[in-house]
Amino acid sequence: MENKVHKVMEVCGTHTHALMQFGLKDVYRDKMRLVSGPGCPVCVTSQSDIDRLLYLCDQGVRIYTFGDLMKVPGSFGTLREKRALGADVREIYNPLEIIEDMRKQPTTIAVFAAIGFETTAPLVAELIAEIEKSGVKNLYIYSLLKRIPPAIEALLSDPDCEIDGLLCPGHVATVIGETPFVKLSEKFEKPFVIAGFTAEQLIFALEKMYEMLTKGIIGVFNAYYSTVKKEGSPLALKALKKFFETSDAEWRGLSVIKDSGFMLKKEYSVINALQKYPQLYKITSKDNCPCGQVLKGKLEPEDCSYFGVSCNPENPLGPCMVSSEGSCHAVFLYRT
């Protein structure tokens, strides 16, 4: 029993990146096999959603989005390629930047492709509040926002799941607190550790994880207690509750997961891109790359037949190689 190498999943792209950067995957190789989970918002964006954004480009709609999404391939190219061909696609860092643009150009119609998890969702909530306040009428929200706990539940419910413990995303936990993870830990009887992002914080979290695994301890240990409070961030949670309700959402490679999305509440349907462009519902496409297997922790990036050959950061086939938080990208970047 002592010699067992435990399989631990980090459910956060930034953790994946940091673990590789600090070489900690190697350091813990004999004790724990650290595999990457679906914790990167870019990586879990489905091909259908990219195709919908490409469709909007073709309709002359301006698209605002975060950087890495520009590079994710849809069925017929990427948003970046569309931009090179003349589409109005704009990269933003802070969603609030958009308001001023739209105010200056009242005849332009724009859609903000809001991707992200619980960490980013409050920012989008702030944008919605600002749209209301400012009276801007030409900006619509296409919410691709996702919730992490239902995705963890879906992964752990898989009968083939071999994951022994979970390294929980510190940033998400800052917003939602410890409670959702406690419920999951108890349901699946596995140890969960909420981890920070510095080398020291990660080592602390990994040591705790190993101790819990070897002693058979079930529950949630908050190793990021300096930032993560038990109740999370009441302010952020209040904003989420005001503007969003949960909905089923499509995750790349994981298909549709119940209640895993943040959908705009009915009161805000006037700015919902899906209401404005109902044709988007009709666009569906299939993810062809094996990113889904990587996201489930069932396929190591280096074991993917495309890895480093036809799929590399210059020519990514799938989002796990696109995103700076993607597991394939991290493995490619930090290979020794």
Which stretches of the chain bind other proteins, using CB under 8 A?
A: 13-14, 17, 20-24, 26-27, 41-42, 66-68, 70, 91, 93-94, 115-117, 119-120, 171-172, 199, 313-314, 324-325, 332-336
Place of tokens 């705790």: 208
Residue closer to other proteins, measured from CB, 5 or 333: 333
- In the complex, the smallest distance separating the C-beta of residue 173 from other proteins, rounded to whole angstroms, is 12
CA 321-80-105 angle, to 5 degrees, is 135
Q: Which is nearer to other proteins, 70 or 98 (CB)?
A: 70
Q: Do 179 and 142 form a contact (C-beta atoms < 8 A)? A: no
The helix (run of H) or strand (run of E) holding residue 248 is strand 244-251
Q: Smallest gap, in angstroms, from Cβ of residue 181 to other proteins?
A: 17
Q: Which of 21/246 has CB closer to other proteins?
A: 21
**C-beta of 19: minimal distance to other proteins in Å?**
11
Cβ closest to other proteins, residue 15 vs residue 298: 15
Shortest distance, position 314 Cβ to other proteins, whole Å = 5
Alpha-carbon gap, residue 248 to 266, rounded angstroms? 15
Residue 18 or 283 with smaller CB distance to other proteins: 18
User: What one-letter code names the amino acid at 182?
Assistant: V
Closer residue to other proteins, CB minimum distance, 172 or 212: 172
Quote the tokens at residue 312.
């590399």
If the CB atoms of residues 115 and 317 are measured against other proteins, the closer one turns out to be: 115
- HSE-CB for 159 with a 13 A CA cutoff: 0
DSSP labels for 102-167?
HHH-TT--EEEEEEE-TTTHHHHHHHHHHHHHHT--SEEEEEEEB-HHHHHHHHHHSTT----EEE
Nearest approach, Cβ of residue 139 and other proteins (Å): 19
Least distance (Å) from other proteins to the CB of residue 159?
30
- Least Cβ distance, residue 94 to other proteins (angstroms): 7
Nearby residues of 108 by Cβ (< 8 Å), 6 or more positions away = 62, 88, 102, 138
Provide φ and ψ at 243, rounded to 5°.
-105, -25
